[in-house]
Amino acid sequence: MNGYNFAYLDEQTKRMIRRGLLKAVAIPGYQVPFGGREMPMPYGWGTGGMQLTASILGEDDVLKVIDQGADDTTNAVSIRAFFERVAGVETTTATAEADVIQTRHRIPETPLSADQILVFQVPIPEPLRFIEPSEEETRVMHALEEYGVMHVKLYEDIARHGHIATTYAYPVKVDGRYVTDPSPIPKFDNPKLHMSEALMLFGAGREKRLYAIPPHTRVESLDFEDHPFEIQAWDEPCALCGARDSFLDEVITDDVGGRMFVCSDTDYCQRRQEEVA
Amino acid sequence: MRWQGFSDPVQDGQRHFRRVLAAMAEPGTLHDAAATAVPEDAAIGPALWATLLSLCDLDTRLWIAPGLEAGGLADAVTFHTGCRKVATPDGADFALVTPATLVDPAPVFAEGSDAYPDRSTTLLVVLDALAEGGPWRLTGPGIPDTRGLDVGEATALMTRLAANRARFPQGLDAILGCGDCLAAIPRSTRLAGPVSATPEEDRTCTSQ
Amino acid sequence: MYVAVKGGEQAIANAHRWLADRRRGDRERDALSVAQLAEQMNLAVDRVMAEASLYDPELAALALKQASGDLVEAVFLLRAYRTTLPRLAETVALDTGAMRLERRVSATYKDVPGGQVLGPTYDYTHRLLDFLQLADGEVPEPARAEQALEACPPILEQLDAEGLIERETDDGAEPYDITRDPPDFPVDRATRLQMLARGDEGYLLALGYSTQRGYGRNHPFAGEIRIGTLEVEIAVEECEAPVCIGEIALSECQMINQFAGSRDRAPQFTRGYGLAFGRNERKTMAMALVDRALRAEELGEPVQGPAQQPEFVLAHADSVEASGFVSHLKLPHYVDFQSELELLRRLRSAHGQPDGAEDSRETVDDGGKKKEPAVEQDTNESEQVSP
């Protein structure tokens, strides 16, 4: 694209982000402040993830972009088209063929491998934000490893509902130290963060924070002995591919209450259907 | 100028960064970085030279330990990256050192604070030897089970890095270079040495 | 048979074409030129430049045209362009006392050296629609003075021999740069002013107004408002004197506020400060009110109103950030919504059952506390902002 650098960002901005990423990897789960730049897409639409992707992407990389697990949702299409245009990289919808995967709200069902990098778009990187709105305060809480309030919040859920009523963006503890927001993935995906083969990078553009979970890192979802962490389950399999191990989206099929459940990961579903056929 | 820059700054810089990122994400793994030649009388090898080229710029402060300027390194870094050189390491983003630099009394580096642990110096360490499977045992993030590393005669360095755990999240991250070869030991790594340097494993981590 | 929705690419391309058509409107009419907008929509252009932090009337007018007059969108366009520009040099600090004035008023001193100058203001226009402008009426030339106004030093510096008004002194510190580094709270005043200067005018106006209505009242007087143009200079190595690289229009507001004094400081008038690119008088007045309100803690005043809370005010002032995050709610949230659906069904089924007869998927039964009505649960869930 004329007038812009490879992958849109100028080299100085990339270097600033790259230095931040190295610190993020060295301090797993800690939110590194970075000089987030405006991107030619609105804040909240993945600008943090895009800045990280732009900073790590090379001309030989194959890129996959998903939103809600799907390659064909409009924002995924738009971000993929952006990188095709500004970096000229090859793109794919196949999880296994991608070097870099940018995602919003899901971790692919197909297990990731070493050498792959998963880049998360993060809206609110601070897991304590809904308990304590002040950045000054939450920074101190992280510094002192003072996470009692988070447990109180979760326990209040239990007292009120009999359950921990957090279903997505479910907080985790990384390598036994930092309480971290896994981005708004469903808690169904939380176990995939633990001892992952792939490096996972998180970018929050508007909030100007980036953080990382290296491969082979302990990631525990916060819970209680008498209320252990559990993931969502469905009574029926995917209506298209029959999968019983994937996160299912509910699809309304008529106006009299008819509905079906299908995989949210379109690539996974497609591949399973092809295998069956 | 005998020190060469990247022939393609955008793509070479990206490729080398990915090596450093992979090294940092999987501590103790070796990465080949033969990208850019250095003068014969240089004290540092191509791996660390490429690291300087890919990470330093106008916004970066570099400290070079005495003895490592051989071959006109200091001027070359300024020429190629524009980074600022600082007289004391505690104000440096990157510090180019050897294990001997870290022998007591070692200079003071920035280790960040508990609130901003990222505001710390990254060590770029010039090593005489670097190989997988050595006497130093690495565990922690990025390491399935445990990984061995041979860094040659570098006890002062490894003792210093082993002390990181006691002060976590403050600490020093190290990028190790030996000729064309690159590895890293971030502060998250627990180190167990062959003899004296015992790692500080005093963190008992619970989610309470 | 269910077919997943596909074809995002085509849909996006079609949306862009339709948008271009809507922007152009009736092809029978003349298209607006960017030059026309820069000239005749100059206040809109000035607002876009101020909030985008980029002084370029032509590009701001282009952004305005491209955004069909949507100011927030235009600010975003120009800001996104700004971020791609290299930083070539830093200017010498501007001295607004050297401004070539076109307007200068003070509400605190009846007569000021150099005089009060109304300039081209809407202030005393009667807000009657001017139907003549429906037709293309001729506009007479303005009356011109024989001589240009002399540069006048700021009124507050000139008229306060008694020292009743606090002095602003340069402490020589290198200011933080919010366009390069993220603000880390608490931030100093220079950082705050930068954030306010690019803050959304409507937001600052409402916050400033709230202080006047009692939410952090600080008894403001408009000490001086000045609008005019100023030369921008950079220092060049080979030259002794700084080199002028152009001229920009600026608006500045110095608010004087009461201060009752504290144990350490005698009672004194304090100041709030507003500065913006272009002719942005309302913005600078609002900014000055908010700046002063944010000094509450520094001055030992009780923090009672939203406008006195720095993190709250500053973290939400940027229209590019705010509109992005509000509008992102349009993006799909199927997965999060599905997660909530699943939970809600579970909670509702548990709610209808007698104690102990838990849903089978529940690992551990907490018994007793399941009598909260479903409505309550909804309320609780809504606290979790769906990002």
Chains contacting chain A through 3 or more C-beta pairs under 8 A: B, C
Burial profile B13-27: b = 16 or more Cβ within 10 angstroms, e = fewer = bbbbbbbbbbbbbbb
Please say whether the beta carbons of C105 and C224 come within 8 A: yes
CB atoms near residue B153 (< 10 Å): 11
To test the contact with chain B by mutation, choose from A5, A6, A22 the residue with the greatest count of B C-beta atoms within 10 A, namely A22
3-class DSSP assignment, residue A45? coil
Let me know if residue B65 belongs to a domain: yes
- Cis preceding-peptide flag for B117 (omega within 30 of 0): no
Say if residue C325's pLDDT is above 50: yes
Give me the interface pTM, i.e. the ipTM: 0.96
Let me know if residue B101 belongs to a domain: yes
- Residues from chain C that touch A187, judged by Cβ atoms under 8 A, are 339
Residue at A113: amino acid letter: S
To test the contact with chain A by mutation, choose from C180, C318, C339, C343 the residue with the greatest count of A C-beta atoms within 10 A, namely C339
Average pLDDT over every residue of B156-182: 96
Say if residue B1's pLDDT is above 60: no
Please give the model's pTM, rounded to 2 decimal places: 0.88
The per-residue pLDDT for range A6-25, each reduced to its tens digit, is 999 999 999 999 999 999 99
Structure tokens given for C23: 């922007």
Which of A142, A146, A194 minimizes the C-alpha distance to A27?
A: A142
Let me know if residue B56 belongs to a domain: yes
Average pLDDT over every residue of A73-78: 91
Number of domains in chain B: 1
Please say whether the beta carbons of A174 and A28 come within 8 A: yes
- pLDDT for B195: 55
Distance from CA of C193 to the nearest CA of A (A): 18
Residues of A with active-site annotation: 29, 238, 241, 263, 269
Say if residue C348's pLDDT is above 70: yes
Please say whether the beta carbons of A67 and A80 come within 8 A: no
Say if residue B196's pLDDT is above 70: no
Average pLDDT over every residue of C10-14: 90
CB contact B196 to A (< 8 Å): no
The per-residue pLDDT for range C16-51, each reduced to its tens digit, is 999 999 999 999 999 999 999 999 999 999 999 999
CB contact A251 to C (< 8 Å): yes
Q: Which domain holds residue B125?
A: 9-188
3-class DSSP assignment, residue C241? coil
Please say whether the beta carbons of A143 and B115 come within 8 A: yes
> Average model confidence (pLDDT) for chain B?
91
The per-residue pLDDT for range A222-270, each reduced to its tens digit, is 999 889 999 988 999 999 999 999 999 999 888 888 899 999 999 999 9
Let me know if residue B194 belongs to a domain: no
- pLDDT for C6: 56
Let me know if residue B2 belongs to a domain: no
Say if residue B35's pLDDT is above 80: no
Say if residue C160's pLDDT is above 80: no
CB contact B146 to A (< 8 Å): no
Residue A232 to residue C342, Cβ atoms within 8 A:
yes
Q: d(Cα A202, Cα A209) in Å, to the nearest integer?
A: 8
Query: Per-residue confidence at A117, pLDDT binned at 50, 70, 90?
Result: very high
Residue C76 to residue A264, Cβ atoms within 8 A:
no
CATH number for position B73: 3.40.50.11310
Say if residue C364's pLDDT is above 70: no
Cα four-point dihedral sign B18, B20, B25, B31? positive
Average pLDDT over every residue of B68-95: 94
Residue A173 to residue B207, Cβ atoms within 8 A:
yes
Q: d(Cα B92, Cα B110) in Å, to the nearest integer?
A: 7
- pLDDT for C355: 57
Q: Domain ranges in chain C?
A: 15-82, 96-118+149-326, 333-359+368-382
- pLDDT for C149: 74
DSSP labels, A82-112? HHHHHH--EE-S-GGG-SEEEEES---SSPP
